[in-house]
Amino acid sequence: MDVNIKEITGVWDLGYSLDKHTLHSTPTGYNDFGYMQFDTVRPEAGEALFQLKYRSDYSQIPLIAQQLYDSFGGIFSTVSLIIPMPPSKARTRQPVTEIAREFARLKGVPCYENLLVKTYATAPMKDIPTREEKVSALMGAFTIYDVLCSGQHDVLIVDDLFDTGSSLEAATNVLRNYSKIGRVFVTTVTRKR
């Protein structure tokens, strides 16, 4: 997979994204239901994520996870566990969770799906006006379950898309309040900017 890695900055200790979500999108006209259609060009990572999330092509999971491992496995060498970003939309199979599981398997560390949990639904982030209000709404929606043995653990949060960073910021802030967490790293498959 050809990628264009970029560091993503925030309240976490270090973060990276594989590539842009889209390269460009051209309107092609309205469909029969009155919705504008687009011809969208995506980089390889963006296309793989699109196929996984919106076309249920689960064969993309090992490809994405392998690229995350190849690109960031060495950078996040102190990580002792991986956490998938809690999903905002209920699905039978959660793409981010499955990517995180496979990345953890490749890295040889556990994937904790029940450590950071979203306990209630929030308003769509696009409907919340400011970044600060988004972070505040999300922090209240996350909870930590004390499932780790004693000690300090460096963790890696895996997410699909980096936009404003509000979800990752809220998750990082909640994790920093858990005494068994050391450094918090983040990685995403794609980014909007």
Domains and CATH numbers, the chain: 6-191 (3.40.50.2020)
Whether the per-residue pLDDT at 151 is higher than 90: the answer is no
- Across residues 121-132, what is the average pLDDT? 76
C-alpha 65/C-alpha 73 separation (Å) is 10
Q: What is the pLDDT of residues 58-107, one digit of tens each?
A: 999 999 999 999 999 999 999 999 999 998 777 778 999 999 999 999 99
What's the whole-model pTM score? 0.90
Q: How distant is the alpha carbon of residue 193 from its chain centre? A: 15
Residue 131: per-residue pLDDT:
79
- Across residues 119-129, what is the average pLDDT? 76
Lowest mean pLDDT among 32-41, 137-146, 159-168, 175-184: 137-146
Residue 130: per-residue pLDDT:
82
- Across residues 119-133, what is the average pLDDT? 78
Percentage of the chain surpassing pLDDT 70? 98
Confidence band for 119, pLDDT divided at 50, 70 and 90? confident
Whether the per-residue pLDDT at 56 is higher than 90: the answer is yes
Residue 129: per-residue pLDDT:
82
CB-based contacts of 95, cutoff 8 Å, min separation 6: 49, 52, 53, 61, 160
Whether the per-residue pLDDT at 176 is higher than 80: the answer is yes
Q: In what order do the strands lie in the sheet with 6-7?
A: 6-7, 14-20, 181-191, 153-162, 79-84
Residue 139: per-residue pLDDT:
75
β 142-144/116-118 pair status: antiparallel
Q: How distant is the alpha carbon of residue 79 from its chain centre? A: 16
Confidence band for 36, pLDDT divided at 50, 70 and 90? very high
Whether the per-residue pLDDT at 127 is higher than 90: the answer is no
